[in-house]
């Protein structure tokens, strides 16, 4: 069994609140939400970070982003929202499986911490 928690969630081996369950990706509620809406969109493929996505898989990145947009509409984040991809240790990444954070439901400060 994979030791990657997001691979295990995508496989149904770990519980999560699923907002999308698609052949190529899943969307889940973040366990420690940083905003009233905090969703993670993750590919089923185990790519350790944005930096590790093979060049031939670049179209998958557009698909992940489009799903964030669609979820933002469904979740009625019409006032605005933020999509974040923490990448690498200095980028604040703590789970080494590519994921996009969709955050909304409150005003977002700039610059981020
Ligand atoms: P990052 O720091 O960008 O790698 O984001 C990892 C995110 O995964 C954090 O926001 C965590 O709260 C979230 N997280 C960690 N474990 C789980 C889990 N089992 N289910 C849902 N979200 C999780
Ligand atoms: Zn994984």
Query: 10 pLDDT exceeds 90?
Result: yes
What helix, strand, coil percent values describe the chain, rounded to 5?
30, 20, 50
Is 16 inside any structural domain? Answer: yes
Give the integer Cα–Cα distance in Å for 101 and 105: 13
Q: Which numbered ligand comes closest to the C-alpha of 40?
A: 1
Q: Which residues are catalytic?
A: 99
Q: Is the CB of 86 under 6 A from ligand 1?
A: yes
Q: What is the pLDDT of residues 26-40, one digit of tens each?
A: 999 999 999 999 999
Is 112 inside any structural domain? Answer: no
Start-to-end C-alpha separation, the chain: 35
Q: What is the pLDDT of residues 43-84, one digit of tens each?
A: 999 999 999 999 999 999 999 999 999 999 999 999 999 999
Is 41 inside any structural domain? Answer: yes
Is 111 inside any structural domain? Answer: no
Please give the residue range of the domain that contains residue 83.
Answer: 5-104
Return the ligand 1 atom nearest residue 29 CA: 21
Q: Identify the CATH number of the domain in which residue 20 sits.
A: 3.30.428.10
Query: 1 pLDDT exceeds 90?
Result: no
Is 109 inside any structural domain? Answer: no
Is 68 inside any structural domain? Answer: yes
| pTM score of the predicted model | 0.98
Query: What is the total count of domains within the chain?
Result: 1
């Amino acid at each position: 069994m994979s030791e990657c928690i997001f691979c295990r969630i995508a496989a149904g081996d770990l519980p999560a609140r699923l907002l999308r369950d698609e052949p190529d990706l899943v969307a889940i509620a973040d366990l420690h939400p940083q905003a009233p809406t905090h969703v993670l969109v993750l590919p089923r493929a185990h790519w350790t970070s944005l930096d590790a996505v093979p060049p031939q898989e670049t179209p998958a990145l557009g698909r992940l982003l489009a799903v964030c947009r669609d979820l933002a509409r469904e979740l009625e984040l019409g006032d605005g929202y933020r999509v974040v991809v923490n990448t690498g240790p200095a980028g604040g990444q703590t789970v080494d499986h590519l994921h996009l954070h969709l955050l909304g439901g409150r005003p977002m400060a700039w610059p981020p911490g």
